[in-house]
Chain A
Amino acid sequence: MAYPDQLLEQAKHLANREKKRPRQASLRRAVSTAYYALFHLLIHEATLNWRRVDQRALLARFFEHGKMKAASDRQRGVINAYLRTNPAPCPDLDCARHLHHVADTFFQAQQHRHTADYDNATTWTRTEVLTLIDLLDSAFQSWHQISEDAAAQAYLISLLGNPKGA
């Protein structure tokens, strides 16, 4: 099982660890782990394009949460504008919907991860956490539908930040 899938499985385990009264520690770690599942999936997919296999782990460390958030927000905006044109059903539309789901879920999950890791005043419930995990699970499936599409690959590059001149 690939590392991002392991993280997602671990998040599910943590969210369901206590049968009746889930501990806040379990729920918080589940939220954080679920976010990192998608974080590492996207980075893994991006670094697969680097021909030198032994340098992929190093390249992965150049990705930053903030830049990935900004890229995901831009991606959502572009797709929202496209969807507002009411495009006819076509493969591009399917791809756009999947990519929007991936970018939007990443955007949401990152904020939840920040709250889970740093804001001890927030009380989490199992429903909140299972909803987030289910969204991430669904985003994984969306990604696997479109990973070879040019738009999806461009999104991966954008996660590194703004190109010069943009």
Chain B
Amino acid sequence: MEVGYVPRDFVNRQEIEAGVQRAAQDLFPAVVRIRYDFGSDWTGDPSIFFRVVLADEFASKPKLSDIAQRIALRLMNEVKTDEQGLHAYFNYRSQSEQSQLSEPAWA
């Protein structure tokens, strides 16, 4: 869990949610779902932390950086994180890893 507080009116949450949904649809079937939180990064800058669940067949590919870059680019373009004044950070896990861990934040 990231600590920090991003004021409610600092970002347009509806726009962000719509952007995330568009990105998730575009990135199917590689991406199973995308969750996110607002907070501060380690230097205190307002940030959005994306949690991306990957389909197992994509998570087991050798060049994970390719799909990670594609997902990050799509999310940043759809959500317009720069225009929202947010740093974007990305975490990835496979569907089977999430099934084992059952973390609500990723569900």
Contacts and interface: CB of A to CB of B under 8 A. Distances in A.
Contacts of A128: 91-93
Contacts of B1: 119, 121-122
Contact of B65 (A66, A111, A119, A131): A131
B10 interface: no
A134 B63 contact: yes
Contacts of B59: 127
Interface residues on B, range: 20 to 34
A127 B93 contact: yes
Most buried by B among A112, A119, A125, A137: A125
For the complex of A and B, the 9 pairs showing the least CB-CB separation, nearest first, are A134-B65, A114-B42, A125-B97, A131-B64, A125-B93, A134-B64, A135-B65, A138-B65, A127-B94
A115 B91 CA distance: 11
Contacts of B87: 73, 107
Nearest to A122: B1
B7 to A, nearest CB: 21
Residue with the greatest number of chain B CB neighbours at <10 A, chosen from A66, A80, A108, A126: A108
A53 B55 CA distance: 49
Given A66-B43, A111-B41, A137 B90 contact: no
B69 interface: yes
A69 interface: yes
B43 A137 contact: no
Contacts of B93: 125, 127-128
A126 B43 contact: no
A122 B41 CA distance: 14
A86 interface: no
B89 interface: yes
B57 interface: no
Interface of B: 1, 41-43, 47, 54, 59, 63-65, 68-69, 82, 87, 89-94, 97, 101, 103
Interface of A: 66, 69-70, 73, 77, 80, 101, 107-108, 110-112, 114-115, 119, 121-123, 125-128, 130-131, 134-135, 137-138
22 contacts: A70-B43, A77-B82, A101-B69, A107-B87, A108-B89, A108-B90, A111-B41, A111-B42, A114-B42, A121-B1, A122-B1, A125-B94, A125-B101, A127-B64, A127-B94, A127-B97, A128-B92, A131-B64, A134-B63, A135-B69, A137-B65, A138-B65
